[in-house]
Amino acid sequence: MEHATHEHPYIGCTIKELPEELQHAAASRAIELNPANAPAGHTPGEALPGRLVLLTGKRWPPAGKRLTVDFLDGVAADLRTRILFHMNAWGSWCNVRFTWSTDHPQVRITRAPGGGYWSNLGTDILHVDASKPTMNLDSFSMTTRDSEFYRVVRHETGHTLGFPHEHLRKEIIDRIDTAKAITYFQRTQGWSRDKVISNVLTPLNQSALVETQQPDPLSIMCYALPGSIMKDGVGVPGGTDIDQNDAQFAGEVYPGATWPTSIWPNGKAYFFKGGQYIRYDARADKADPGYPAPIAGHWPGFPPEYEAGVDALVVWNLNQAYFFKGAQYIRYSIQFDRVDHDFPRTIAGNWPGLFPDGIDAGVVWPSGKAYFFRGAQYIRYDIANDKADPGYPKPIAGNWPGFPPSFQNHIDSAVVWNNTKAYFFSGDQYIRYDITADATDAGYPAPIAANWSGLFASDIDA
C-alpha cells in the first residue's frame, strides 16, 4: 500500500472521542449494555474509577444490533445504497444490520471534504448530540474507487460496531520507528505530533479492547504502514476487506449472521455428490477431516431416495434449507437439525413459476431473490412474494456476465459465500462471481481441485 500514499491521497482514520465531560457516563453505560466492556481492575456493580474510563470497551450487547443510518448532508439514493451495502457486509459474519431511516438515526454520516475518515466507537454514538455526525466519509461519491468503499466504509463501520484499531496492537507498534512515524504522518496526514502518538503509537491496553490472539496485519481494522517507518523495513499491508480473522472475531462478539448465505450458522457449507456429502469449513477454507461421508445416517429424516443423492441444496435463511430431487423437495430445519414434517412435497403447486422438476442448482442472493438453474436456463424467484418473477425462465447466456460457455449450458451447484461473492460450479471447474459488480471475476474459470481443499473435484450435485 505504500505506493498509494504517493499516487493517491491515502487518508488515515481516527477514532472520534466524545467530549471529555461525557466520557465517564459513556463508559459506564457501555459496561451496563455489555459487561464484557469492563476493563481489568473494575469491580462489577461499583462505580467506574476515572482512570479506567479510556480502557473501557464500547461493544454493543452480544445479542447483536440493528442500527438506523442517515446522511446529514443529504445523499443520492445510489450512493446511499452503496454505502449501506458495504456497512452491511459485516452482517455476513455477525448479528448486525444497518437500515436507512430519517427518524432519529443512530448512525449519522457526513461526507465533509477535508474532514478525514472517522467514526465514534461503538456505544459512544449514543452520546453524540443528535444534530452531529457519528461518522465522516471524506468526499465519498459514486466516483470514489470501489476499493475505497471496501477499505474505508467497512473499516469505519467496524468502529461503529466497537472494534478498535488493529495496528495499535503492541506487537505492531513495537516495530514502528517513532521519529520516522511522526514525520511521516505529519507530512501525509497533517497530524500534530500528539495526534500521531495517540493514533498510531499508543498500544491498546491489554484490557477489554483485546481482540484475537495474534495481531492480524491484514485486518480491515489495521492501517497500512509503509516499510519506511518500520524498524525492520517491512511494511504492514493493512486491511482491504473484512478478512477471516475479522469475520471470526465479529462472529464471536455478535454471534449469528444476518444476511443469507450458503454458509450454515455453524460456519460450514455442505456439498453433495451421489450418496456422499462434504462439510466445508468456510473460514478455514478447506473440507473438515473425515469427509466425504455417506448421506445415509447423517441427515435425520432424509427419505431413502434423498440419501442416494440430491439435485440441489438451497440455504433459504438461517433456519431453513431446501433439498430438491426430481419433481419433489424437502425442507430441512437447521435449528432442529432434521427434515420438517410433511415432506417431501411436489415442487409443482408449492413454488409458483419454478421449474417443476430437474433443478440443477439454486442459491439465495443478498438482494432477496433466489436463482434456480436448469440446463441452459434460470429463474429468478422473489422470496418476499414467494413466486417466480415475471419473464422467466431466461437463458443463462447473455444474462450472467462472464459465464464461460460450459457454464451457460449447465450449472452443477451455486453458493453465496458472503454478500459480495458467489461461486458457481460446473464439471471440474468453478467461477467466482462478484455480486456487487454483477460480473464474473477475472481469472476464472479455475479448477476445483486446485482451489477447494478436500472438496469433490468434479460433477458436484448440490
Which residues of the shown chain bind Zn ion in the complex (CB under 5 A)?
Answer: 13
In 295-366, which ranges are E strands? 312-315, 320-325, 328-333, 338-339, 345-346, 361-364
**In contact, 428 and 448? CB cutoff 8 Å:** yes
What is d(CA 342, CA 337) in angstroms, rounded to the nearest whole number? 16
Cis amide prior to 9 (ω within 30 degrees) = no
Task: Give dist(CA 279, CA 249) in Å, integer.
Answer: 22
CB 91 within 8 A of CB 130: no
- Identify which of 64, 59, 197, 40 has the alpha carbon closest to the alpha carbon of residue 124: 59
Question: Shortest Cβ distance from residue 15 to Zn ion (Å)?
Answer: 6
> Exposed e or buried b for every residue in 117-132, given b needs 16+ CB within 10 A?
bbbbbbbbbbbbeeee
How far apart are CB 99 and Zn ion at their closest, in Å?
Answer: 23
User: Judged by CB, which is closer to Zn ion: 119, or 429?
Assistant: 119
Nearest residue to Zn ion, by Cβ distance, number only:
13
Q: Tell me whether residue 253 or residue 431 sits nearer to Zn ion (CB atom).
A: 253
Phi, psi of 98, deg, nearest 5: -110, 130
Nearer to Zn ion, 13 or 94 (CB): 13
Report the nearest approach of Zn ion to the CB of residue 417 (Å).
Answer: 26
Short-list 278, 269, 311, CA closest to 422: 269
Q: Which is nearer to Zn ion, 42 or 151 (CB)?
A: 151
Minimum gap (Å) between residue 100 Cβ and Zn ion: 23
| 3-state secondary structure (DSSP) of residue 229 | helix
CB nearer Zn ion, residue 201 or residue 293: 201
Measured from the CB of residue 137, what is the shortest distance to Zn ion in angstroms? 12
Q: Shortest approach of Zn ion to residue 155 CB, angstroms?
A: 5
Q: What backbone phi and psi angles, to 5 degrees, belong to 136? A: -125, 130
Residue placing its CB nearer to Zn ion in the complex, 13 or 84 = 13
Q: Amino acid identity of 385?
A: N
Of 197 and 327, CB closest to Zn ion: 197
Q: How far is the CB of 245 from Zn ion (least distance, A)?
A: 16
